[in-house]
């Protein structure tokens, strides 16, 4: 295919993407799969095959984006590094998130947290399960895995949202920057308290692993990586819990199948993050001129890798807008790919698919949606904004 100049995605507004990006993504996949979108100040890559291709070429599509919003909010995290520097920091974090550690150490913690949360509202008969369950479950679990036992889960939730809003602040809203900076300072203060203790008393937490790695990370590196983990590590399981619950509550036949066969819960998790990818887009930048999806990209081009669109690519997934745990198995891209494949993928699968969702449906009898509509929002990060439910107390 001959290279062509990208057609501008004029008319695409950030507010439209936030409200419902999927019709926009479908149009881009059909017409200009790698399109310059002025509102986002980057080329949006929307086809599954192009996303997979660029992740296999990190030397061309670099994570180390210039003037990165993530760097502004969090510092230079491992997600914005490539090559040996990225690998060094990733290796330092890996012991805390290996499958055996998740199963033997964190899974019992997840179960305790989930049961205590449900105990706190089970007799109420109704609640917004986004606020009462999904968000605190993700926050409490993450605090334990990080080693930030000195942080209240409400503070962690506030910090996560503020920093994530900052990394997606393409509208350059000064109030968003103020909140993000305050959250970053809060994380720094919490680390100042916990690092001396974990230096003397190593455990299986992420901060401890970074401190005691064969090549220990610096205070600056630890802080940046803790901040990015607070973002994605809270956002993704929170939204996967809420989205998965909503999807099953809206699909009685699939719910019945899952409740009759525990092994299907893993399919619920994978289909949930395909259907509504919690991390909908992340940035890359080209290191040289390159053609992608029929568009000629100049050196230094800012790219948005739209996982949410790749996961609804009709050339890969049949009826992609439909939640279907029985669909033919195809590789989704919700966890990214290549060297930057999500470090916490195994922990998220266990926390959401093996603990949180099975407990919610198993313990809340006749769980059902309330009359108030469930609202979704976001495009850089997307998920439910509420989940009003009722059950038989």
Q: Render pLDDT for 206-229 as a digit per residue (tens, 0 to 9).
A: 999 999 999 999 999 999 999 999
Helix (H) or strand (E) holding 389: strand 388-390
Chain centroid, CA 269 distance in Å = 13
Model confidence at 8, pLDDT cuts 50, 70, 90, reads low
Model confidence at 10, pLDDT cuts 50, 70, 90, reads confident
List Cβ neighbours of 179 (8 Å cut-off, separation of 6 or more). Answer: 162, 165, 166
How many Cβ atoms are within 10 Å of 107's Cβ, its own excluded? 16
Residue-level pLDDT at 175 = 95
Distance CA 337, CA 284 (A): 13
Tell me: pLDDT of 198 over 70. yes
Q: Are 191 and 220 in contact (CB under 8 A)?
A: no
pTM: 0.93
Beta bridge partners of 376: 384
Q: Render pLDDT for 335-363 as a digit per residue (tens, 0 to 9).
A: 998 888 899 999 999 999 999 999 999 99
Model confidence at 7, pLDDT cuts 50, 70, 90, reads low
How many Cβ atoms are within 10 Å of 269's Cβ, its own excluded? 24
In 95-174, at which residue ranges do the beta strands (DSSP E only) sit?
126-128
Residue-level pLDDT at 67 = 83
Residue for token pair 């509550």: 249
Of 385, 393, 387, 346, residue with least CA distance to 370: 387
Residue-level pLDDT at 351 = 97
Dihedral angle computed from the Cα positions of residues 215, 71, 167 and 189, in that order, rounded to the nearest 10 degrees: 70
Q: Render pLDDT for 285-342 as a digit per residue (tens, 0 to 9).
A: 999 999 999 999 999 999 999 999 999 999 999 999 999 999 999 999 999 988 888 9
Distance of CA 282 to CAs 225, 376, 380, Å?
Answer: 16, 19, 7
Give the SS3 label for residue 388.
strand
Residue-level pLDDT at 6 = 45
Domains of the chain: 14-390 (1.10.630.10)
Residue 4 — φ and ψ, nearest 5°?
A: -140, 160
Q: Render pLDDT for 70-95 as a digit per residue (tens, 0 to 9).
A: 889 999 999 889 999 999 999 999 99
Tell me: pLDDT of 2 over 70. no
Tell me: pLDDT of 9 over 90. no
């Amino acid at each position: 295919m001959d290279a062509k100049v990208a057609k501008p995605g004029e008319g695409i507004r950030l507010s439209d993407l936030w409200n419902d990006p999927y019709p926009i993504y479908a149009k881009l996949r059909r017409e200009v799969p790698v399109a310059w979108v002025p509102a986002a100040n980057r080329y949006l890559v929307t086809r599954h095959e192009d996303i997979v291709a660029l992740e296999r070429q990190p030397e061309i599509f670099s994570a180390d984006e210039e003037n990165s919003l993530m760097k502004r909010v969090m510092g230079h995290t491992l997600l914005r590094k490539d090559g040996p520097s990225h690998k060094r920091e990733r290796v330092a974090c890996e012991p805390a998130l290996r499958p055996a550690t998740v199963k033997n150490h964190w899974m019992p913690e997840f179960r305790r947290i989930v049961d205590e949360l449900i105990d706190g509202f089970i007799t109420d008969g109704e609640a917004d399960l986004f606020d009462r369950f999904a968000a605190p479950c993700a926050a409490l679990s993450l605090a334990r895995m990080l080693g930030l036992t000195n942080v209240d889960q409400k503070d962690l939730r506030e910090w996560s949202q503020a920093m994530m809003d900052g990394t997606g602040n393409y509208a350059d809203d000064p109030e968003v920057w103020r909140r993000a900076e305050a959250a970053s300072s809060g994380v720094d203060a919490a680390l100042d308290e916990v690092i001396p203790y974990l230096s003397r008393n190593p455990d299986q937490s992420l901060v401890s692993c970074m401190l005691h790695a064969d090549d220990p990370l610096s205070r600056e590196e630890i802080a940046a990586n803790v901040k990015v983990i607070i973002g994605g590590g809270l956002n993704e399981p929170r939204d996967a819990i809420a989205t998965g619950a909503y999807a099953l509550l809206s699909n009685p036949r699939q719910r019945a199948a899952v409740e009759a066969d525990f092994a299907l819960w893993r399919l619920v998790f994978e289909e949930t993050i395909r259907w509504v990818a919690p991390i909908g887009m992340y940035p890359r930048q080209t290191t040289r001129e390159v053609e992608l999806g029929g568009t000629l990209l100049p050196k230094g081009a800012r790219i948005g890798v739209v996982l949410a669109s790749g996961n609804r690519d009709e050339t890969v997934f049949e009826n992609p807008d439909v939640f279907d745990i029985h669909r033919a198995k195809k590789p989704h891209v919700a966890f990214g790919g290549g060297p930057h494949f999500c470090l916490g993928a195994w922990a998220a699968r266990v926390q959401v698919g093996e603990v949180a969702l099975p407990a919610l449906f198993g313990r809340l009898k006749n769980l059902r949606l309330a009359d108030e509509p469930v609202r979704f929002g976001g495009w850089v990060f997307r998920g439910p904004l509420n989940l009003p439910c009722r059950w038989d107390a």
